Amino acid sequence: MGDYLVVGIHSDAEIEKNKGPCIMREEERYIAVESCKWVDEIVKDAPYVTALEDLDKHNIDFVVHGDDITTAADGTDCYQQVKDAGKYKECKRTVGVSTTEIVGRMLLLTKDHFKKVDEDNPRATIDSDKISDFSKGSSSLFQTGINRYLSTAKKIVQFSSGREPKPGDRIVYVDGAFDLFHAGHIEFFKKAREFGDFLLVGIHDDITVNSVKGGSLPVMNLQERVLGVLQCKYVDEVIIGAPYSVNEDVLEKVYKVDVVVHGSGPSSPDSDGRDPYGLPKTLGIYVNVGHPMSDLTTTKILNRVIESRQRYIDRQKRKSNKATHELELERNALYKTEQ
């Protein structure tokens, strides 16, 4: 649609006022958006309602939003000014992918009697039988949790960099679930990239993640997690469904890996009790690293929802009511264009 992409990011206060509680803090969201390979510039603390002066201030030619109306707390269209000025364009929303959808999934994991995911014992987690009980009797507010996004090969190719390592490039390998892709993952990738020239990321499949984390994890399916990783500008290539233990195939068959980097947190043993990084440690190519967001984990994000569960349930209810109003606005707008 254009040549240079500027993304405005709302503050926590603006989102709280107009939508409800945030899951990711604003600094975390700044890091996440800034790391996207398609983003050229970010605007921090962007107003929730976009005014023409905001466009002029940042030299913006037009605004792009998904094909659904977004309203402010007072019920007005957030983009009405730019629409009236002819500086608004729409793109199709990706079906099954939204913050509301992901919150719905997490709420299914967070009823009071569910266990929290234990950082020191990742196998002690949420009871999947309780999840199904909760899901069967839940309202439509939570049913979004079963509608997971399925990507196509074409979509994955669109996200891939298509870059191959040059002769002499140092290949860095990292692996993990990378569920609820967040600033902690991004800062880890950024740090790992410093050890070489080409970052290869192994992403464990859903069954592997579930066998380690337990319960109903991961929250996001493999395809969603792959796309989340691929959009990050620090990542060059991924191995989809990488083995939990780093083996000879990983180190030799895709690319010749020079160094395997792991975060500062503990790793669970493989199903046979082995250290998943035993081979790279033996070969002397294993490195542990810390980074500025080391304390941010998928577990912490889940626990934010657990600890404020009622607030997020209220958020989903408000979002549902708001969606009804927004649908009415869309119908009115369509009616006007047909006149």
DSSP calls for 143-183: HGGG------HHHHHHHS----PPTTPPEEEEEE--TT--H
H/E stretch holding 213 reads helix 206-213
pLDDT band at 235 (very low <50, low <70, confident <90, very high): very high
Please give the average per-residue pLDDT across 150-171, as a whole number.
78
pLDDT band at 338 (very low <50, low <70, confident <90, very high): low
pLDDT in tens, 239-292: 999 999 999 999 999 899 999 999 988 889 999 999 999 999 999 999 999 999
6-93+317-338 CATH: 3.40.50.620
pLDDT value of position 176: 97
| Average confidence score pLDDT of the chain | 82
Domain assignments of the chain as residue spans, ordered by start: 6-93+317-338, 153-288
214 contact partners, CB below 8 Å, separation of at least 6:
122, 123, 124, 125, 126, 128
Q: Do domains 6-93+317-338 and 153-288 have the same CATH topology?
A: yes
Determine the Cα–Cα distance for residues 213 and 167; give it in Å rounded to an integer: 38
pTM strictly above 0.85? no
pLDDT in tens, 42-67: 999 999 999 999 999 999 999 999 88
The secondary structure of residue 194, as a DSSP letter, is T
pLDDT value of position 144: 29
Please give the average per-residue pLDDT across 143-147, as a whole number.
32
Please give the average per-residue pLDDT across 17-38, as a whole number.
94
CATH architecture of 153-288: 3-Layer(aba) Sandwich (3.40)
Determine the Cα–Cα distance for residues 223 and 241; give it in Å rounded to an integer: 10
Determine the Cα–Cα distance for residues 255 and 198; give it in Å rounded to an integer: 10
The CA–CA distances, whole Å, from 257 to 129, 174, 176, 206, 241 equal 41, 10, 16, 24, 17
